Structure 1
Amino acid sequence: MSLSLPQDLIVSPSAPLLIVDVDEVLALFMAGFERFIRRQGYEMRIDRFALFQNLYRPGEAEHLDIVTGRALFDAFFRDGADDLEPVAGAADALADLSQRAGVVILTNAPDCGRESRTGWLARHGFDFPMILNSGVKGPIIAQLAGLTSGPVAFIDDLLPNLESAAESAPRVLRFQTVADPRLRPLAPQAPERHPRHDDWADLKPAIEAAVWR
């Protein structure tokens, strides 16, 4: 589903722009979600790069159905989304990058989690404009890129979002990062199209080299 940009969003018409995902980019989502579902009596077994297919009832071999998984996901954003650890180095890196570029947070989360997500971002040093998205991100990235003549970079963990950005906004620079070490070997990737750096110590200079080359 394509969304319209917030009317109060301010983007410099000539400065560089960084469009940044939250989960597994700025926040250790899987670890926090795992703690939440355990409190609900479920468990997580990370054996694929997925969300609901890694959720199980203890002792059962089949993962949870999509309806139950989605209900847990929504409940997490209503009641547990504050219990996320920030990714090491992300706040300092974005704080430095934001001195030379605009930053917009583009996150896929249910609308019920808007307040908790904005609060979490502010508390952990990511107090930038946030857009709550649904579905692939390419269309809204194209809208954002159209607001500036400067270079634009998009950082996300999910290959479909990166591919969507490439299709909808081919001028946008794309970077993949996957913060949770358990997910890294499982994550689909295409490094020839979307350079991948799983640590902000490597990701930040890669962004700088591409944006300010």
Structure 2
Amino acid sequence: MTDLLSHIPLHLIIILGGLVLLGVVASRIPVLGTLVRVGSWVVLIVLAGLALDQRERFDPLVGNVLRRLKLEDQQVSGEEVRVRMSPDGHFWVSARLDGVERRMLVDSGATVTALSVASAAAAGIEVRDEVFPVLLRTANGTIKAKTGTLDELRFGTVVARDLPVVVSPAFGDTDVLGMNFLSMLKSWRVEGRTLILQPHHPQEVRPG
């Protein structure tokens, strides 16, 4: 029991304890009891949403379920690709990297497109060390990365060829579309919770 409680955040224990205490007190006052029950449901729904959001970021299976429920979506509208914001607050696209399908984070704060070691290997990208080491600043500090070239990246009407990428174990399982990709587009913008990407030369949409 002690080990179980040690993994529960203190603030969550306080919230749940407060709800139990309020429930005991409110049971003696009908009106207050009703308010507490409604408030408890609201708190539980919020906590469940936060838990799903966190799980979705790290569990591909949950991410697949969310996409099937259309909680995050990628659609072609005319010559544009419209990407709905994911529950985690980010934009993700389902792209094919030299024929290999990957879920990629669109990050305008990243200078260059970054691939995990596994994705680079699956796509058959030849990675190499540069004469001068490629050093990237990340939230976890400065890392050293190898470089490579992606022959083709494709999703919806968007196709990018000969796209420079960096590869490092430090990226974990995350693949990122950076500014060197976004700058190749005719335009890109965010309207509300939708990312809109428009290529210079829209391609025919291939069946999935």
Q: Same fold (TM over 0.5)?
A: no
Band of TM-score, shorter chain: under 0.3
Higher relative contact order (CA 8 A, sep 6+): 1
Q: Which has the higher strand share?
A: 2
